[in-house]
Amino acid sequence: MTDDQSRRRFLSRRAIALAGVMALAGCTSGGNGNGGGDDGPTPSDEPTATATDSGGSNADHTVVVGPAGSLVFDPAELAVAPGDTVQFSWESNFHTVTVESAPSASDWTGTGEETQDAGYTHTHTFEVTGTYDYYCNPHRGSGMVGSITVGDADGGSGDSGGGDDPY
């Protein structure tokens, strides 16, 4: 009977330890929606951003945020005309579009510091000419930065075609 009691005590302790590990793993997960609960993106929580789930039907340009899980914006550099609308579309989790610099007359605030997940979109119509530099707050050190040039900021032709950009 002592062997049976020892075995039960051993199994009971293992079950408790396993439950503790599972609880700890749940607390430290990235909140990507795979661990239960409703942790999905909620664009309505961003009161000042022009966030939408519409799929960008009105966007003139699209910047993909974290394509295929990579730590980049695609394209990283974009030239647009004044009045063009750009949609930022999340393809992976835990990213921001945080404004580093923008023309002083601009009203663009990006998405702020709160991270968003796959499926989230943020659109903005760029009216003020100049250069807008932005980054992903958690991944800036990994080089996740981008830039939008509105209008003819460098004195060039103002072509926003993208094509054979030397960058």
Q: Tens digits of per-residue pLDDT, 13-44?
A: 554 544 444 444 444 444 444 444 444 444 43
| pTM value > 0.75 | no
Q: Which of 97, 103, 118, 5 is nearest to 50 (CA)?
A: 97
Where are the alpha helices (H) located in 2-108, listed in sequence order?
A: 2-28
| Shared domain check, 9 and 58 | no
Tens-digit pLDDT profile for residues 105-140 = 999 999 998 999 999 999 999 999 999 999 999 999
Q: Are residues 135 and 91 in the same domain?
A: yes
Tell whether 9 is covered by a domain: yes
Q: Name the residues annotated as catalytic.
A: 95, 136, 139, 144
Asked whether residue 16 falls in the same domain as residue 62, the answer is no
> Same structural domain for residues 16 and 86?
no
Q: Would you give the end-to-end CA distance of the chain in angstroms?
A: 76
The answer to whether the annotation marks 124 as part of a ligand binding site is no
Q: Is 122 marked as binding a ligand?
A: no
Neighbouring CB atoms inside 10 A of 91's CB total 17
Token readout for 2 is: 């002592």
Higher-pLDDT residue of 57 and 82 is 82
> Do residues 18 and 50 share a domain?
no
Residue range of the domain that includes 136: 45-150
